[in-house]
């Protein structure tokens, strides 16, 4: 439900370890709304959403403080969640995302793709079993970073993690999973 308007009725979906769900649907069908509902930021008008693993949400907003460096932003986030925020760990994650060269600049001077890389780097800081909720994760990424993201999602699924992504790209195409197609609201 969004702005006193019911977007989707009778939606039912289930996913298990190592599975990916690709959310499809036209603009305004409620992909972001569904992801935010699963993240607990919106209440469904009816029904139950249950999840027994930690959730990591990467939405449109990158949750980077403009005045803090990418490295500090990641460390802040890791500490907020009680994850390992050691300098070595952050450095390793930054180099995995090819973000080392701009990691010490304040987030305000970074390009959209660079900020997106930093917010995606959070995914690597969390536990292996987490459910990743990704809202158009490849927006602003160049093709190298997009294929890096694809490989990252693949590794996460192989490790027993789960991914739900609103995307029009065939992310992690070789892995188990389904497509959940949302119809445009009437």
Partner 1 sequence: MNILFAQMRRDLALIWAGRGEAAVMLAFFLIIITLFPLAIGPDVATLRPMALPVIWIAALLASLAGFSRIFAEDVRSGWVDQVALSPLPLGIYALSKAVTHWLAGGLPMLLATPVLALMLYVDLESLAPLILALAIGTMALTLLGVLAAALGEGARNGGSLMALLVLPLAVPVLIFGTLASTPDDGGLLSPHMLLLMAVLAVLLAIVPVAAAAALVEAETDSS
- Cβ proximity to partner 1: between 28 and 47 the closer is 28
Confirm or reject binding of residue 63 to partner 1 (CB under 8 A).
Answer: yes
The only residue of 11, 45, 51, 76 in contact with partner 1, by rule CB under 8 A: 76
Residue length of the chain:
186
* Beta carbon nearer to partner 1, 35 or 97: 35
Window 32-51: residues binding partner 1 (CB under 8 A) = 32, 36, 39-41
**Is 59 a residue that touches partner 1 (CB under 8 A)?**
yes
Contact yes or no for 127/121 (Cβ under 8 A): no
Residue 159 contacts residue 175 (beta carbons within 8 Å): no
Q: Is 17 in the site for partner 1 (CB under 8 A)?
A: no
4 near partner 1, judged by CB under 8 A? no
Nearer to partner 1, 77 or 102 (CB): 77
57 binds partner 1 (CB under 8 A): yes
9 part of the interface to partner 1, by CB under 8 A: no
Nearer to partner 1, 17 or 63 (CB): 63
Residue 63: closest CA among 127, 120, 139, 148? 120
Cβ atoms within 10 Å, residue 54: 12
| 57 strand-pairing partners | 133
**Structure tokens given for 166:** 């609103």
Edge-first strand order for the sheet with 162-166 is 55-58, 131-135, 162-166, 20-24, 177-181
Region of 68-76, 95-103, 142-150, 168-176 interacting with partner 1 (CB under 8 A): 68-76
Q: Report the residue from 6, 65, 173, 184 that binds partner 1 according to the rule CB under 8 A.
A: 65
How near is the Cβ of 67 to partner 1 at its closest, in Å? 4
CA distances to 6, 130, 155, 171 from 161, rounded to whole Å, are 31, 6, 9, 15
Phi-psi region of 28 (alpha: psi -120 to 50; beta: other; left: phi over 0): left
């Amino acid at each position: 439900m969004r702005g006193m308007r019911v977007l989707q009725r009778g939606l039912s979906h289930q996913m298990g370890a190592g599975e990916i769900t690709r959310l499809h649907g036209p603009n305004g069908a409620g992909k972001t709304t569904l992801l935010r509902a699963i993240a607990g930021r919106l209440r469904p008008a009816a029904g139950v959403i249950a999840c027994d693993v930690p959730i990591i949400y990467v939405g449109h907003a990158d949750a980077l403080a403009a005045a803090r460096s990418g490295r500090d932003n990641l460390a802040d986030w890791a500490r907020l969640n009680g994850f390992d925020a050691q300098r070595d760990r952050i450095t390793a994650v930054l180099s995995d995302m090819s973000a080392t060269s701009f990691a010490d600049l304040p987030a305000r001077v970074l390009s959209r793709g660079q900020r997106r890389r930093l917010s995606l780097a959070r995914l690597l800081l969390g536990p292996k079993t987490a459910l990743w909720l990704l809202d158009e994760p490849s927006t602003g990424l160049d093709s190298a970073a997009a294929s890096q993201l694809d490989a990252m999602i693949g590794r996460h699924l192989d490790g027993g993690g789960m991914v739900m992504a609103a995307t029009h790209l065939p992310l992690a195409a070789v892995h188990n999973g389904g497509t959940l197609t949302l119809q445009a609201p009437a």
